[in-house]
């Protein structure tokens, strides 16, 4: 399939999700309000530094249930927010945690530096990928102290976070940090993920901030990388999202095969923002997908 990458208007229609969902601000404002209430009323440990750099903090929401066996850790859901690598914050997504903590899981919400950074300290997508690897290394080494099982880590991400979640399945952990095991990330869930960055490099409104290069596109597009030696990736997208997001969703199963990507589907009636609500809605198919990965 040949994409009209020389047509800025087409790229804008395909990739400007806020323009595609006129009431997107209602979602963002509600997420922020609901998340503030969660942090005020649910046990949590906030703004823990996983590194010394800008944006290198995380929030931990311990399980609300005791583990099945005394002293055992519970599976861990690590969530990575979206925002085209340039906006939003972990604090906007605390509302995702309670449905999972009440079901007996530990939730960790990650932050990262936002593009483009500053002239003195520029931020690129490869920089953010390294930050996410650093964050997962921290989780592996410290989550047991918060009741989590470091051997049962699932990563979920939305939009740009979906790209980052898929990338973390391909990371060579023993080369990233001493004592980190192969397969540190057991499973991943990419929600409305951007799995090939090539169109983003040609979309003026994003390229002006992200400054992607051809090398970075090859380096940070999970659909262009070899499948991981182990682990599973689920890919989901809203059925009402743009044709490009529907195509981006299918790229991973095409690239890695159905063994590594057994689920790749469009969920009817959902758009780029309502799909995040579905993740946090017990009984919804997307919520079940996350539970299945956590329990695997």
Q: Is 195's pLDDT higher than 90?
A: yes
Tens digit of each residue's pLDDT (9 = 90 or more) over 101-119:
999 999 999 999 999 999 9
Q: Is 16's pLDDT higher than 80?
A: yes
The model's pTM: 0.97
Give the Å distances, CA to CA, from 109 to 57, 135, 155, 281: 9, 10, 10, 17
Tens digit of each residue's pLDDT (9 = 90 or more) over 265-281:
999 999 999 999 999 99
Q: Is 11's pLDDT higher than 80?
A: yes
The pLDDT assigned to 133 comes to 98
Residue 204 to residue 210: CA distance in whole angstroms: 10
Give me the residue spans of the domains in the chain: 8-295
Tens digit of each residue's pLDDT (9 = 90 or more) over 33-87:
999 999 999 999 999 999 999 999 999 999 998 777 777 899 999 999 999 999 9
Q: Does domain 8-295 have CATH number 3.40.50.1820?
A: yes
What mean pLDDT do residues 175-202 have? 97
Place of tokens 């703004």: 47
Percent of the chain with pLDDT over 70: 100
The pLDDT assigned to 61 comes to 98
Of 192, 188, 156, 159, nearest to 265 by C-alpha is: 192
């Amino acid at each position: 399939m040949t994409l009209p990458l020389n047509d800025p208007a087409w790229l804008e229609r395909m990739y400007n999700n806020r323009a595609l969902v006129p009431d997107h601000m209602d979602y963002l404002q509600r997420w922020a309000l609901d998340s503030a209430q969660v942090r005020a009323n649910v046990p949590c440990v906030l703004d823990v530094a996983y590194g010394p750099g800008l944006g290198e903090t995380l929030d931990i929401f311990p399980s609300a249930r005791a583990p099945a066996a005394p002293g055992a850790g519970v599976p861990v859901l690590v969530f990575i927010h979206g925002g085209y690598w340039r906006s939003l914050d972990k604090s906007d997504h605390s509302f995702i945690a309670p449905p999972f903590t009440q079901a007996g899981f530990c939730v960790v919400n990650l932050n990262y530096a936002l593009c483009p950074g500053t002239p003195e300290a520029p931020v690129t997508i490869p920089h953010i990928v390294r930050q996410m690897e650093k964050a997962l290394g921290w989780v592996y080494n410290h989550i047991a102290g918060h009741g989590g099982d470091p051997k049962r880590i699932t990563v979920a991400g939305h939009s740009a976070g979906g790209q980052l979640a898929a990338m973390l399945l391909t990371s060579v952990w023993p080369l990233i940090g001493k004592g980190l095991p192969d397969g540190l990330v057991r499973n991943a869930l990419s929600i409305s993920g951007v799995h090939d960055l090539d169109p983003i490099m040609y979309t003026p409104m994003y390229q002006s901030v992200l400054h992607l290069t051809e090398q970075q596109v090859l380096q940070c597009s999970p659909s262009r990388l070899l499948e991981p030696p182990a682990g599973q990736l689920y890919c989901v997208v809203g059925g009402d999202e743009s044709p490009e997001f529907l195509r981006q969703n299918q790229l991973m199963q095409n690239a890695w095969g159905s063994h590594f990507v057994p689920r790749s589907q469009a969920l009817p009636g959902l758009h780029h923002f309502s799909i995040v609500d579905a993740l946090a809605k017990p009984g919804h198919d997307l919520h079940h997908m996350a539970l299945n990965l956590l329990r695997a």
